[in-house]
């Protein structure tokens, strides 16, 4: 049996913080299922790439698991109906995302019957597929990385197969406080998870897999350990790592497990690793072996502002309001609603936002003690000590204030994972992460502007070229006509002039 | 002793003279490629092709800046940022814009009023208006640079500008 192996020391990981876990309140009970809501709101953009294209019309009856919107453009993923009912609208709806407050959503009024779509084909054992067609199939299931980055899994795996690979790393390191959905999923769905792991190893032709779990999740470790013993697959090893934030970041995890550093601007595949979230593996198993696309996920609903914190399985598209009322509603002190964890999450102003594929946590906090005012940076260097990427946040802060794009780039702003460690330790209470986020957006804006100008320049130049050619063609045609007319002699010219005169008489306006 | 001092001075003076002559000749014979500088200036311009500077497009303006010493503050869409960058590139003084900076916007054709005369289509410097003769025209918003050159030729005044959000 691959029992919990040696614990790593953190010698190879820079910075990080030990944060209060705050997970006990939501891990006391098993995962509950949220009943079918009256209304489902499915954003067409639940992944990193371009929005999916809706293929259903308003008024259409859709069944559970039916394709609602198909992948379109780069890094896109399809969206499926999470229950049966009638499409009542396709309209902008409040959502939780980084830019903008509303996004187009498909709204379904559920009939509560959960009628399933007829499966196009019987599910077959995964090893009857060719690895390539298996990846294609994963793409069609709408499966995206459930750890929060929502990168379409099929495309991530396809990209990975172009590189020499060594390890598959299953990320069970849920390092952000309050969140416990992966912990509970590992406890309760260990068999499905391992099934997903086997599919992934088959598709990527890999023979080494690490399932990495933090030391503060003994129940998950023993559940996975038992399932592994039963499965008796020597290729899969269980690893235990100490609890430190943000060791669950993809690049941090690779470094922790293999002691290889992912290069700046690179991917784990550059050092031979593919990282997948444990929930994604379970979702892959359900899609490939049971034919259920990604239409639900486990999410943690917790915080002092929720009456009974717990983990729930919610259909994608269920509104946060429905889930909170399922969890006993708000407490009297509830004040702030955050989608995601306290470090990387996003604060939202309304609970009508839906649960999307990325929603790993719904956090309700009480009124926080008013934040101390921002003070000038005293250059203490605490932020550089805790930065897991070994950046110099204090330096980046100056450059962000000065809008110095070049220096921001050369100091590695684009490598910042926005983990929030620097904010937390800053004695001057400078909102560093927010500043970096804005600076990143500004750099992106400038790059977009530049690309736009370049396109306009090309269009302008090719238009001038076209006009020039047209002019030349016209001139040579005229010259030809003139030559012909001269050849034909004065009588012909006379005739042409007469014809023109006649035309002018008929149509004096021109 | 004196001879060695004088020899040293003569040698150094000789080297200086030779180097000076060489450099002087090189600068006469091989002037810097003005096209390269024009390209650099053109890169800094916003490529709106609006002709508000008085030249028929961004590259002609860049050419005028480099060869005819045209002012660098004639580009309202570029705003003060562009003036600053041009000043830094060319070693000139950053002067305030001659006209107020324009807000980024795109043209919008009121399609119900369009008579399909193609005048706006022909005026567009970046081919961002599509439509055939006597058919409705429309602006390809993603390609429109907001130069406003289509507004004046429209005989029914059905084109307006909408700010880009």
Residues of chain A with C-beta less than 8 angstroms from the C-beta of B128: 459
Choose the CATH number for A25-314 among 3.30.930.10, 3.30.1380.10, 3.40.50.1820, 3.40.50.11540. 3.40.50.11540
Question: Which residues from chain B sit within 8 angstroms of residue A457, using beta carbons?
Answer: 42, 47, 58-59
Q: What is the pLDDT of residues A405-415, one digit of tens each?
A: 889 999 999 99
CB contact under 8 A, B47 and A454: yes
Residues A52 and A71 sit within 8 Å (Cβ to Cβ): yes
A128 DSSP assignment: G
Q: What is the mean pLDDT of residues A418-426?
A: 91
CB within 8 A of A87, min separation 6: which ones? Answer: A56, A57, A58, A59, A60, A61, A62, A68, A106, A107, A108
Q: Determine the pLDDT at residue A507.
A: 67
Instruction: Evaluate if residue A461 carries a pLDDT over 50.
Output: yes
Q: What is the pLDDT of residue B31?
A: 65
Burial of residue B36 (CB within 10 Å: 0-12, 13-18, 19+) is: exposed
Q: ipTM of this model?
A: 0.78
Residue B3 burial by CB count (10 A; 0-12/13-18/19+): exposed, middle or buried? Answer: exposed
Query: A370 pLDDT exceeds 80?
Result: no
Q: For the residues of A403-467, what is the DSSP string, one character each?
A: T-HHHHHHTTGGG-----HHHHH-TT---HHHHHHHHHHHHHHHHHHHHHHHHHHHHHHHHHHHH
Looking at residue A7, what is its pLDDT? 42
pLDDT of the residue at B128? 93
Span A442-456, average pLDDT? 89
The residue of B57, B105, B124, B126 whose CB has the most chain A CBs within 10 angstroms, and thus the best one to mutate to test that interface, is B126
Q: Any idea which of A8-12, A417-421, A433-437, B153-157 has the lowest mean pLDDT?
A: A8-12
Angle between helices B58-68 and B34-44 (to 10 degrees): 130
Query: Which of the four pLDDT bands, split at 50, 70 and 90, describes residue A98?
Result: low
Are the Cβ atoms of A460 and B128 closer than 8 angstroms?
Answer: no
A278-293 pLDDT, tens digit per residue, is 999 999 999 999 889 9
Quick check: A171 and A147 in contact, CB under 8 A? yes
pLDDT per position as a tens digit, A483-494:
888 887 777 778
CA distance B44 to chain A (A): 9
**What pLDDT sits at residue A4?**
39
> How close, in Å, is residue A455 to chain B by CA atoms?
8
Q: Do B57 and A453 touch (CB under 8 A)?
A: no
Write down the pLDDT at residue A1. 35
From chain A, the residues in CB contact with B58 under 8 A are 457, 460
Mean of per-residue pLDDT scores for chain A = 89
A462 contacts in chain B (CB < 8 Å): 127
Smallest CA–CA distance from A458 into chain B, residue: B126
The answer for residues whose C-beta is within 8 angstroms of residue A481's C-beta and 6 or more apart is none
CB-based contact B42 A457, cutoff 8 Å: yes
Q: What is the pLDDT of residues A187-205, one digit of tens each?
A: 999 999 999 999 999 999 9
Nearest Cα of chain A lies from the Cα of B112 at a distance, in angstroms, of 25
Tell me the C-alpha distance between A308 and A322, whole Å.
Answer: 14
Query: Which residues, 6 or more positions from A427, have their beta carbon under 8 angstroms from its beta carbon?
Result: A375, A378, A380, A382
Whether the predicted pLDDT of A2 surpasses 50: no
Q: What count of other Cβ atoms lies within 10 Å of the Cβ of residue A39?
A: 17
Chain A residues whose CB is inside 8 A of the B48 CB are 456
Average pLDDT over residues A365-380: 84
Per-residue pLDDT, B165: 67
Beta bridge partners of A242: none
CB pairs < 8 Å spanning A and B = 34
Nearest by CB to A453, which of B46, B57, B59?
A: B46
Q: Give residue A178's pLDDT.
A: 93
| pLDDT on residue B13 | 96
User: To probe the interface with B, which of A453, A454, A458, A468 has the most B CB atoms within 10 Å?
Assistant: A453
pTM, full prediction: 0.78
Alpha helices in A248-404 (DSSP H): 250-258, 278-290, 320-326, 382-386, 393-402
pLDDT for the residue B17? 96
Q: How close A251 comes to chain B (CA, Å)?
A: 35
Chain-chain contact of A457 with B47 (C-beta, under 8 angstroms): yes
What average pLDDT does this structure show over A82-103? Answer: 83
**Mean pLDDT, to the nearest integer, of A102-130?**
83
pLDDT at A167 over 80: yes
By DSSP bridging, strand A334-339 and strand A361-366 are antiparallel
Each residue's pLDDT tens digit in chain B (165 positions)? 899 999 999 999 999 999 999 999 887 777 667 788 888 899 899 998 888 889 988 999 999 998 888 889 999 988 888 999 899 888 888 888 888 877 888 999 998 999 999 999 999 999 999 999 999 999 998 899 999 999 999 999 999 999 886
At residue A14, the pLDDT reads 84
Starting at the edge strand found earlier in the chain, the sheet holding A334-339 runs A32-33, A310-315, A296-302, A361-366, A334-339, A346-348
Shortest Cα distance from B84 to chain A (angstroms)?
14
For residue B94, the model assigns a pLDDT of 85
pLDDT tens digits along A13-57: 788 888 888 899 899 899 999 999 999 999 998 888 888 999 999
Residues of B contacting chain A (CB within 8 angstroms): 42, 45-49, 57-59, 125-128, 143, 145
pLDDT of residue A359 exceeding 50, the answer is yes
CB A192 within 8 A of CB A152: no
Average pLDDT on A91-116 reads 83
For chain A, give every domain's residue range: 25-314, 315-366, 371-510
Q: How far are the Cα atoms of A368, A492, B126 from residue B12, in angstroms, in the given order?
A: 76, 84, 59
pLDDT number for residue A120: 58
Residue A232: pLDDT above 70? Answer: yes
For residue A12, pLDDT over 80 is answered with: no
- Distance of alpha carbon B34 from its chain centroid, rounded? 14
Q: How confident is the model at residue A119 (pLDDT cuts 50, 70, 90)?
A: low
How far off is chain A from B127, nearest CA to CA, in Å?
7
pLDDT, residue A5, reads 41
Domains of chain B with bracketed CATH: 34-90 (1.10.15.40), 103-165 (3.30.70.20)
User: pLDDT-derived band of residue A510, with 50, 70 and 90 as boundaries?
Assistant: very low
Taking the C-alpha atoms of residue A322 and residue A224, their distance in angstroms, rounded to an integer, is 32
Chain A residues with at least one Cβ partner in B under 8 Å: 449, 452-457, 459-464
A354-363 average pLDDT score = 93
């Amino acid at each position: 049996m691959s029992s919990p192996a040696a614990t790593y020391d953190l010698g190879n990981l820079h910075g990080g913080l030990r944060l209060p876990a705050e997970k006990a309140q939501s891990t006391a009970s098993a995962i509950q299922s949220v009943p079918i809501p009256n209304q489902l709101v499915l954003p067409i953009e639940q992944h990193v790439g371009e929005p999916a294209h809706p293929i259903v019309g308003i008024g259409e009856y859709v069944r559970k698991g039916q394709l609602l919107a198909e992948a379109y453009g780069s890094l896109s993923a399809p969206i499926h109906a999470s229950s049966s009912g009638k499409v009542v609208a396709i309209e902008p709806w409040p959502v939780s995302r980084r830019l903008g407050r509303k996004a187009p959503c498909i709204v379904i009024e559920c009939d509560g019957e959960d009628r399933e779509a007829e499966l196009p084909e019987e599910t077959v054992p995964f090893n009857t597929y060719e690895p390539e067609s298996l990846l294609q199939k994963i793409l069609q299931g709408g499966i995206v990385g459930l750890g929060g980055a929502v990168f379409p899994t099929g495309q991530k795996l396809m990209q990975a197969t172009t590189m020499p690979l060594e390890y598959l790393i299953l990320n069970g390191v849920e390092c952000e406080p309050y969140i416990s959905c992966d912990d509970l999923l590992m406890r309760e769905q260990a068999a499905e998870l391992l099934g997903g792991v086997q599919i992934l190893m088959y598709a990527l032709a890999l023979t080494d897999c690490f399932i990495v779990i933090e030391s503060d999740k003994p129940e998950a470790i023993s559940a996975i350990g038992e399932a592994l013993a039963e499965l008796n697959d020597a290729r899969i090893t269980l690893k235990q790592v100490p609890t430190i934030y943000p060791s669950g970041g993809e690049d941090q995890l690779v470094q922790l497990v293999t002691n290889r550093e992912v290069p700046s601007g690179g991917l784990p595949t550059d050092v031979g690793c593919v990282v997948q979230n444990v929930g994604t593996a379970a979702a892959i198993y359900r899609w490939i072996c049971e034919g259920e696309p990604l239409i639900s996920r486990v999410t943690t609903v917790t915080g002092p502002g929720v009456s009974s914190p717990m983990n729930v399985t919610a259909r994608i598209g269920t509104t946060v309001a429905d889930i909170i009322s399922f969890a006993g509603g708000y407490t009297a002190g509830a004040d702030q609603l955050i989608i995601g964890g306290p470090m990387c999450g996003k604060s939202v102003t309304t609970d009508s936002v839906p649960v999307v594929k990325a929603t790993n946590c719904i956090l309700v906090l009480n009124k926080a003690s008013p934040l101390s005012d921002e003070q000038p940076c005293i250059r203490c260097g605490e932020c550089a000590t805790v930065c897991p990427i070994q950046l110099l946040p204090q330096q980046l802060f100056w450059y962000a204030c000065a809008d110095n794009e070049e220096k921001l780039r050369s100091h590695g702003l684009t490598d910042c994972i926005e983990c929030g460690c620097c904010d937390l330790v800053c004695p001057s209470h400078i909102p560093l992460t927010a500043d970096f986020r804005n600076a990143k957006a500004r750099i992106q804006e400038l790059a977009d502007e530049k690309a736009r100008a370049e396109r306009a320049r090309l269009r302008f130049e090719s238009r001038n070229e076209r006009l020039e050619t047209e002019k030349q063609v016209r001139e040579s045609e005229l010259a030809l006509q003139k030559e012909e007319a001269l050849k034909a002699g004065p009588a012909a010219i006379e005739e042409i002039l007469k014809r023109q005169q006649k035309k002018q008489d008929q149509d004096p306006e021109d | 002793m004196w001879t060695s001092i004088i020899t040293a001075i003569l040698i150094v003076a000789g080297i200086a003279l030779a180097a000076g002559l060489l450099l002087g000749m090189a600068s006469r014979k091989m002037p810097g490629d003005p096209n390269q500088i024009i390209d650099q200036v053109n890169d800094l311009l916003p490529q709106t092709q609006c002709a508000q500077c008085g030249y028929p497009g961004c590259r002609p303006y860049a050419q005028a800046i480099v060869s005819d010493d045209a002012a660098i503050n004639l580009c309202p869409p570029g705003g003060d940022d562009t003036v600053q960058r041009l000043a830094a590139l060319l070693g000139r003084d950053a002067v305030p814009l001659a006209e107020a900076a324009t807000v980024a916007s795109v043209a919008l054709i009121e399609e119900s009023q369009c008579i399909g005369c193609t005048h706006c289509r022909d005026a567009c410097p970046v081919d961002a208006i599509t439509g055939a003769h006597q058919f409705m025209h429309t602006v390809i918003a993603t390609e429109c640079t907001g130069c406003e050159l289509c507004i004046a030729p429209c005989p029914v005044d059905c084109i307006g500008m909408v700010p880009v959000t």
